[in-house]
Amino acid sequence: MRSDTFVELMYRRLHGELQTADYIGWADALLEQGCMLPEIAEMASFAFEQAPDAREVERYFLLCAQQLGLRVPQDEYQATRDHWAQTCEQILDGRVGLDDGVARLHAIDNDCGYHLMLPWNDLSDYDGAVHWHDQRRQIAAEDINRLGREAYVRLLTRQFAALCRLPQAALPACFPDVWHCIACGHEHHRATDTAQRAAPCPGCGAPDTLKNMRYLENRQYML
């Protein structure tokens, strides 16, 4: 059973954008897809009521989610990462075009300023030729010039989906705006907006295991 709409619903629910009618519409769509769960039929039947009780609909919704084995995220960031991951997967399987998908990822972020979104902002900087005039480094430029934009964006999409699927605790705070040692896990907070991709680790002393996580190839070590 497709649960695309469910992930989107969960995101909108935690962002306070969900109406009672959206829940009912979700149940209705499942019915049409052949879902036989009595609770789903019960929920869809709220559509016949003039003013369905929002709390009652929500209660049914949570019951249905439980019956269907769907995870209901409790925090906004989790719901955002689920929605990002699913959008990436839709890009990768061709259901959503590349540039349309990238625009959707930015819309999901909704200017919340999550650090995880940084690689996509670096791509936007490249696309907008931002930074050339003010001497700041355009992080994605070298890799895009080497790989070609489409191949780069596809790699980024695949990687981002996997990063979003990791438990939040698996990544350092501020990731990927951080230097992280792939040998000892040491985190180092200094500017990542630099051409330098690796450095000696102050934690374990290894010569080049402290990686600048702004770079695509270094983030692969986290997966």
- Sequence-distant contacts of 147-152: CB under 8 A, at least 24 apart: 150/98, 152/123, 152/216
Which position among 204, 217, 221, 223 is part of the footprint of Zn ion (CB under 5 A)?
Answer: 204
Judged by DSSP in three states, 21 sits in helix
Q: Cα(56)–Cα(61) distance, rounded to whole angstroms?
A: 9
> Residue 186, interface with Zn ion (CB under 5 A)?
yes
Please identify, using beta-carbon distances, which residue of 12 and 188 lies nearer to Zn ion: 188
Residue 140 has, within 13 A of its CA and on its CB side, a CA count of 22
Which position among 41, 130, 147, 184 is part of the footprint of Zn ion (CB under 5 A)?
Answer: 184
Query: How is the chain split among helix, strand and coil, in percent rounded to 5?
Result: 55, 5, 40
> Residue 178, interface with Zn ion (CB under 5 A)?
no
Please identify, using beta-carbon distances, which residue of 22 and 187 lies nearer to Zn ion: 187
Judged by DSSP in three states, 180 sits in strand
Q: Which stretch binds Zn ion (CB under 5 A): 57-65, 107-115, 156-164, 176-184?
A: 176-184
At its nearest, how many Å lie between Zn ion and the CB of residue 30? 49
| Distance in Å from the first CA to the final CA of the chain | 28
Site string for Zn ion, 133-172 (x = CB under 5 A): ----------------------------------------
Query: Could you tell me how far CA 177 lies from the centroid of its own chain?
Result: 16
At its nearest, how many Å lie between Zn ion and the CB of residue 209? 5
At its nearest, how many Å lie between Zn ion and the CB of residue 221? 12
Q: Cα(188)–Cα(196) distance, rounded to whole angstroms?
A: 14
Please identify, using beta-carbon distances, which residue of 90 and 209 lies nearer to Zn ion: 209
Give the footprint of Zn ion on this chain (CB under 5 A).
181, 183-184, 186, 201, 203-204
